Amino acid sequence: MEITYASPSASDLFRSSTAASGSTMPTPRTIKIIPLQHPDTSSYGSPGGFGNNSSSSSLWPNSWISRFRGKIRRMTFIDWIEMFLPCCRWIRTYRWREYFQVDLMAGTTVGIMLVPQAMSYAKLAGLEPIYGLYSGFVPIFIYAIFGSSRQLAIGPVALVSLLVSNVLSGIAESSDALYTELAILLALMVGILECIMGLLRLGWLIRFISHSVISGFTTASAVVIALSQAKYFLGYDIDRSSEIVPIIKSIIAGSDEFSWPPFVMGSTILAIIQTMKFLGKSRKHLRFLRAMGPLTAVVLGTTFVKIYHPSSITLVGDIPQGLPSFSIPKSFQYAKSLISTAVLITGVAILESVGIAKALAAKNGYELDSNQELFGLGVANIFGSFFSAYPTTGSFSRSAVNHESGAKTGLSGIITGSIMCCALLFLTPLFEYIPQCALAAIVISAVITLVDYEEAIFLWRVDKKDFLLWTITTTTTLFLGIEIGVLVGVGVSLAFVIHESANPHIAVLGRLPGTTVYRNIQQYPEAYTYNGIVIVRIDAPIYFANISYIKDRLREYEVVGNKSTKRGPEVERIYFVILELAPVTYIDASAVQALKDLHQEYKSRDIQIAISNPNQEVLLTLSKAGVVEMIGKEWYFVRVHDAVQVCLQHVQTMSPKASDPSHEKPSFFQRIMKQRREDLSVSELESGNSQMRSDSTQDDPQLEPLLSRRS
């Protein structure tokens, strides 16, 4: 709807201007604007009131309860079952002829890959290899039931194993029974924390950790992991640490004990794994080689040891045969010292596992609830802790192999777990002769892909600030340790977020020639502004942390002005400040009070504030606080152009030419052309195609509020 509009204060302005000049002023021309609907705070939320709109229901304090109740009422019995047992979703629609063969192939491939990896990661965590096999057994079956991803392959991973080793090595020796008990207890704590966060839907908290922090953290961790495995290649012990300097010092100090046989065997096996991985990635018909790499390493190393019996190469040793027995985690008195690591591992689970799961779900055409996924990982860890498993999460490499092998449902995970079960029951006697350097080569091969130097190059090219964040996180993690590195990275990341929030982007807007569109004059140099009017767009919510910065910038724009082309009547200073609030999604009480103070400050200097396009919630807040009445309802507009027209009409009365009695009276023809301009429809104005006769606009350049002069 359009209305013909003139500000109620227009007549006062004209009268005062006329009295000051002693001349007779023409009546102000009428302009057409779109009226802004103001909320009725007295009847807000009642039928027929402003709050009757569905979008405003989100403002109710109990709206989320109402939505939750409505969702509960709409859920059927099947929906309830699928919510608690996500596996029912793919069981109900399983196509045996189409899915079983590919699930069988994918599950078998991942199982062959997992057996040697599980033992390798257990050694990295400072545990006996058997606990890696346990961790790849029960959690997989539990996740297949409670997990919502159909392609995610969970189990021991390198990063979590390093975190376990980092925290437990400061409490007990890896050879002590307490060390193993604490690793199992940590799995229980991680599982409980993941379940709580999933049930309370708190997964969004991890969004505050920048991707640059995660990339820097994993890169540094990969370097530390690779160096920690060097002892199996070099043939002598090195200090266990999460910092790079002690590890390097230990490597240098023990160099006189270097042994060639494990170095040659480990390097050869690592080269074979990397070659198979490269061929599997680059050639589709050789894709199976990628998953066969770890198994090939174990088979080649074991075969060599069985034939030549080299005394200088250390072996895995005796591994217990059989399935894990049920037991309750112990040593709860150490739980307090494990909390920080449990939180960190949970963060890794959210960022890595849930991220991988959502990406795979999108590729395979089904939806995935990240909070439900987090709950499934938590249940898997809780049940795993009762069967001697240490913390597990989703593996990027095994999940990629599972997806590339064609896995369609969680049945592939059950098949992987079955292979692990067979390995525990029948194959552990063969694992006794696996060389330690072969397992170390598997770990190093897995973590090489975590060194994300390409991300650093990308960040340097795109955003120097993110590159700085990546560098800080990587450096602190390498030299100060994992936990300090993460804390510093997260702290700097949050500092950047707070800085951006407290110093939002603010733009001065100008009008694009031939249109009624207003854009940033820095981005569009051809845009022009009007004398006596400054149009400011605030591109962020307004709250206590940034209101001072916003007020300072507004004062700066008032005094300094801008270098853009000026149009309209010539005046000496700013009379109107138009605030474009379309990007402002929220305004708090502190900002409202500051806005009141700013209005009083402007009023003392004869400057009027106009508000353009505030959203429903912001407008309601301003109405409740009395700001709408204080500024005046006539100064709230739907469009920037409407506000400019009204303000420009007032500015014309303040122009020296407008108040000059000697100013030449327009001719009859000029008055006719002026009337035609005033009768232009809003649709013509929006299209920007309407034209003015050059003779009339040149005769009176002040009367050009609607369209620019064509050159």
* Model pLDDT, residue 688: 44
Delineate the domains of the chain, giving CATH numbers in brackets: 89-497 (no CATH), 503-653 (3.30.750.24)
* Model pLDDT, residue 678: 46
* Model pLDDT, residue 40: 66
> What is the Cα–Cα distance from 660 to 417, expressed in whole angstroms?
92
* Model pLDDT, residue 348: 80
> What is the Cα–Cα distance from 51 to 183, expressed in whole angstroms?
54
Closest by Cα among 258, 268, 278 to 301: 268
Rg of the chain (C-alpha set): 35
CB 580 within 8 A of CB 640: yes
Q: What is the DSSP letter of 587?
A: B
CB 34 within 8 A of CB 642: yes
Per residue, the 3-state secondary structure of 315-357, as one string, reads: ECCCCCCCCCCCCCCCCHHHHHHHHHHHHHHHHHHHHHHHHHH
> What is the Cα–Cα distance from 211 to 222, expressed in whole angstroms?
16
> What is the Cα–Cα distance from 365 to 82, expressed in whole angstroms?
18
Strand partners, 5: 31
> What is the Cα–Cα distance from 238 to 231, expressed in whole angstroms?
6
CB 255 within 8 A of CB 237: no
Both tokens of 589, joined, read: 């009480």
**Identity of the residue numbered 509:** L
Coil vs helix vs strand at 530: strand
Average pLDDT, consecutive stretches of 10 residues, N- to C-terminus, the chain (711 residues): 44 42 50 73 48 42 67 78 85 88 91 92 93 95 92 92 89 90 96 92 77 88 90 88 90 91 93 90 81 86 89 88 93 91 85 82 83 91 96 90 88 94 92 90 88 90 92 94 86 89 92 92 91 92 92 84 72 89 91 91 91 91 91 91 90 64 50 49 43 39 40 35
* Model pLDDT, residue 56: 42
Coil vs helix vs strand at 127: coil
* Model pLDDT, residue 111: 92
> What is the Cα–Cα distance from 630 to 1, expressed in whole angstroms?
26
Q: Which residue has the tokens 């995610």?
A: 152
> What is the Cα–Cα distance from 90 to 92, expressed in whole angstroms?
5
pTM, to two decimals = 0.74
> What is the Cα–Cα distance from 542 to 277, expressed in whole angstroms?
52
* Model pLDDT, residue 325: 94
What angle, rounded to 10 degrees, do the helices at 96-124 and 288-308 form? 50
> What is the Cα–Cα distance from 314 to 336, expressed in whole angstroms?
36
CB 162 within 8 A of CB 242: yes
